[in-house]
Structure 1
Amino acid sequence: MSTARIPPGGFKELGPVNWAISKVGARGIRRPRFSLVNVLGRHRLLFLAWLPQSLYLLGAGKLSRRDAEFVILRVGHLRDCEYELQQHRRLARTRGVDAATQAAIFAGPDADGLTERERTLLTATDEFVVTRGVSPQTWQALSRHYTTQQLIEFCLLTAQYDGLAATITTLGVPLDFPD
């Protein structure tokens, strides 16, 4: 990754609340620093507005955590965002997405070993990221597997991680796992 355009902040740049959040996050990923939080947290109020939605989509949404990781990994792959991929390869393993399944996600909807629902989810993710929408045929297929609330969440989750990948890349957020 290129040099950070906005380097991760410390206590002074983050303020006490965002600094405390960054410390809890770093402990959660078992690293001395959580670079994304230490960069985004420099915009103190915007970070606090963004964080609840992000946490909801990641951990408490209507989509299964496994399906959310399918979407996030596919977006990270499509956007070539190594930061997002590093974070979510690890998290996905804890949510039942093993290395073989991750390889299938990266290979795309036609990869061996995927269920019809998983193929549909990856196809919809590809369409959303590449064309900024989902075709009527794919939407109909997606609707056979997900509720109305889950469909809305799919759109917001995909948009969130697509925008996050662009932000991470643009700001040059340093990797937390540089190995």
Structure 2
Amino acid sequence: MTTTRVPRIPPLPPAEWPPVLRSLLADSHRDGPGRENLFGTLAHHPVLAHAWLSLARVLTHEGTLGHRRRELIVLRVAHRLDAPYVYRRHRTPAADAGLTDAEIDATGADLDAHAWAGEDSDLLEAADLLAVNSPVPEGLWGRLARVLSPGQLVELLVLAGQTATMCATLNTLHTPSDQQPSLVVRLDRERCCSAGQCVGAAPEVFEQDEEDGRVTLLVPEPDARCADEVRFAADLCPSGAITLVDDEEPARS
């Protein structure tokens, strides 16, 4: 099985947003790009959109955790919930908050793979637990309470919950990132063994020749909406005749 990036509820274009939503986006340029599809999805429910984005604005601009702590929590929760829209969107704010490239990459790996300092380690451990609604043990809570005020502890919980809600919503709706990575498909017909599984997985991109049975590449640079199907097709190819080059992962065959 493979997922699709075709959105279940297509984001509304900005021309169809209510004025208050357009105003919110226009007034928050400092939050960076990459939220048009998020706003366009929320635009289907303007009242809820305003409430959601008002909370997000409080957490981002009026919170007391600090930018570094906030981005660590958001990145880690997004990683644990396999939410690429949120994870990619927050890499730039995380860098602006002072996280190094190595630290940002490490939020998407096992915690033991990076030498996190005490407070960072505790925050990431808490994010792991909160992302899946697991209890926070007393020892970890005590360590957090020694460095965070009661208000900051409440903010930490709400931030993790709001991030998890956003991840679940965008994942379930298959909301695409605003900047879709390019995808290039390379096909070695000499290696093709005529299994045809790729044609079944991505018929818009591959076609089986009726004469020799080998596969023909129809679209070398397919639309991003077909990316998951194309990756699935490459995984199915028993002869390794399909090679993919994109911005998400290294080339593979």
TM-score w.r.t. the length of structure 1 is: 0.89
Change (3 A) 1:159 1:28: closer
Change (3 A) 1:25 1:147: closer
Aligned pairs for 1:40-55 (under 5 A) are: 40-55=42-57
Return the structure number with greater helix share.
1
Aligned counterpart, 1:92: 94
Distance (Å, rounded) in 2 between the aligned partners of 1:59 and 1:26 = 12
Aligned counterpart, 1:71: 73
Distance (Å, rounded) in 1 between the aligned partners of 2:14 and 2:178 = 18
Deviation at 1:14, TM superposition (A): 2.0
Matched, 1:10 2:8: no
Aligned counterpart, 2:135: 133
**Which of 1 and 2 has greater Rg?**
2
Q: Match for 1:150: what amino acid?
A: Q
Distance (Å, rounded) in 2 between the aligned partners of 1:159 and 1:133 = 14
- % same residue: 31
Deviation at 1:176, TM superposition (A): 1.2
Q: Match for 2:70: what amino acid?
A: A
Q: Match for 2:145: what amino acid?
A: S
Q: Match for 1:138: what amino acid?
A: L
Q: Is the 8 A contact 1:4 1:174 kept in 2?
A: yes
Deviation at 1:46, TM superposition (A): 1.0
Figure out how many residues of one structure are paired with residues of the other and give that number.
178
Residue of structure 2 aligned with 1:82, choices 81, 84, 104: 84
Structure with the larger RCO, 1 or 2 (CA within 8 Å, 6+ apart): 1
Q: Match for 1:85: what amino acid?
A: Y
Q: Match for 2:56: what amino acid?
A: S
Change (3 A) 1:145 1:26: closer
For residues 8-34 of structure 1, the C-alpha deviation after alignment (integer angstroms, 9 at most, x for no partner) is 113564222223434555795346x71
Deviation at 1:49, TM superposition (A): 1.6
For residues 60-119 of structure 1, the C-alpha deviation after alignment (integer angstroms, 9 at most, x for no partner) is 201011100000000110011010011101111111112111122222433333110000
SS in 2 for 1:119: helix
Return the structure number with greater strand share.
2
Q: Structure 1 stretch 161-170 or stretch 47-56: which is displaced more?
A: 47-56
Change (3 A) 1:142 1:8: same
SS in 2 for 1:110: helix
The CA RMSD over aligned residues, in Å, is 2.0
Aligned counterpart, 2:118: 116
Distance (Å, rounded) in 1 between the aligned partners of 2:147 and 2:112 = 18
Q: Match for 1:69: what amino acid?
A: E
TM-score w.r.t. the length of structure 2 is: 0.65
Matched, 1:152 2:132: no
Aligned counterpart, 1:21: 24
